[in-house]
Amino acid sequence: MEKLIVTLLIKLAAAASIASILSRSSKFLNLLLREERTVLERLQITGGIAGFCSAGSAIRIWTQSYAAADMCLEGSLLAGIIGGYISGLLTGVLCSIPAVLHGEYLALPLYAAVGVLGGLLRDLASDPEEVWKITPFFDLSIYRLIRYPAIRRRSMYQIIGLLTILLAELMRFTVLNLFGSHLTFALYAPRSAGWGIVAVFFSTVFTVSIPIKIWGSARNERLLENKERLLVQARLSALSAQINPHFLFNTLNTVGSLIRTNPEKARQVVYRLSSILRRLLRKTDNFAPLRDELAFIEDYLSIEMTRFGEKLRFLKEVDEGTLDCQIPSMLLQPLIENSIRHGLASKIDGGTVVLESHLERRPEGLRLFLSVADDGVGIEDERLASILEHPGIGVSNVNERLQVLFGANYRLSITSQRGEGTRTTIEIPA
């Protein structure tokens, strides 16, 4: 009895280890994430599970020991529950090959039938997610069945799942007692009774349930990561959507003011605007090389200079080594737009916007510094102290995008003097 208990514990540990190894494979985990699978994907699930199970059976046969390594029945049932009839049936067939070659001829129909039984259990689920909630702790399922009528069907499925696993072991027990131990493998002798048989039945339940729980947890972690990534993507898209219509609105105002006074200039502005919009429509990435952003800035400023004329001047002091650095798309345009609208537009003689970039080596790595400065009217101290706290278009939008993309691994600072101008500096990883 003690030897049997040790063997069963080793079997449970091996099942958990194999399930953990498979869950570390991104390809296998991606297969688990899909509920509707192609035939090829089902074959891949079969290969992943059957490979370990048939190897365990071969080890048990060829070494005449290590009985805990043979988990063909549990693997066949598990493949059926996870992948459906095809995966369960094929896993049962593949797992039985070493046993059949050893003379255990009933292993093939037994494991194949158990695999189909797992597929049947999968089909009974009203929601594919229910298979990942199969648990050996039936007392909780019974309590929910009585206490919560609204989820009675779900609770009943958990009980049926437990009974199905026990039925699979009962099938092996029946075959063993009818035809003898030389035609199939089990950890107990024919016509055995007592607590040893009970322990084997319970170990089968846990050998199937443990991989389901491990893979279910891995699935949930991956799904959570995907949802967080989609949330970040949606948030970035929303922030970008705040920028683009705002820029379009300002440009159309410029076109409207030129239509009557200078139609030719209005036509040129529309042409440049169409070039900018084509660039925006083609851009789907959150990052772009600095050289591409500078090209976009030049198109934007060509429109603004049409409006302001010689009052607006633009200088670039860009380090050549920074041109290939990746920066968030549409990062600089809102800052330059702020400089023009709030810093220079109210000055009679206009002013200059200066864009600078350079790299610095820091203990945490290579850092890219970007700054947009103007010699405009500046910002009041009261407004400057809270400028990043107010949601809206411009610098607060830029700050929020940087938070989403870099977390705490960035720095944005604004300095300003009344009557002298404003400088916005951004530090991000290069």
The answer to whether the beta carbons of residues 92 and 171 sit under 8 Å apart is no
The answer to whether the beta carbons of residues 145 and 159 sit under 8 Å apart is yes
The predicted pLDDT at position 371 comes to 92
The predicted pLDDT at position 244 comes to 55
Output the tens digit of pLDDT for each of the chain's 430 residues: 778 888 888 888 998 999 999 888 888 888 888 877 888 888 888 999 999 999 999 998 888 878 888 899 999 999 999 988 899 999 999 999 999 998 899 999 999 999 999 999 998 888 888 888 888 887 666 766 777 776 677 778 888 889 999 999 999 999 998 988 888 888 887 777 788 888 889 899 999 999 999 998 988 888 888 777 766 666 655 555 555 566 677 678 878 877 888 888 888 888 878 877 776 666 556 788 899 888 888 888 887 777 677 788 889 899 998 999 998 877 888 888 888 877 787 777 778 899 999 999 888 889 999 999 988 888 877 777 777 665 555 777 788 878 878 888 889 988 888 888 889 999 999 8
The predicted pLDDT at position 390 comes to 58
Which residue is associated with the tokens 């040893």? Answer: 196
Instruction: Report how far Cα 254 is from the mean position of its chain's Cα atoms.
Output: 43
Secondary structure class of 38 (helix, strand, coil) = coil
CB burial of 86-102 (b: ≥16 within 10 Å; e: otherwise) equals bbbbbbbbbbbbbbeeb
The predicted pLDDT at position 344 comes to 83
The answer to whether the beta carbons of residues 66 and 74 sit under 8 Å apart is no
Which residue is associated with the tokens 């999968």? Answer: 122
Q: How many Å apart are CA 363 and CA 424, to the nearest integer? A: 23
Domains and CATH numbers, the chain: 2-227 (no CATH), 262-429 (3.30.565.10)
DSSP at 76: H
The predicted pLDDT at position 224 comes to 82
Q: For residue 32, give Cα distances in angstroms to 21, 93, 161.
A: 14, 21, 19
| pTM (predicted TM-score) | 0.61
Q: For residue 26, give Cα distances in angstroms to 16, 29, 119, 218, 222.
A: 18, 5, 24, 10, 10
CB atoms within 10 A of CB 138: 16
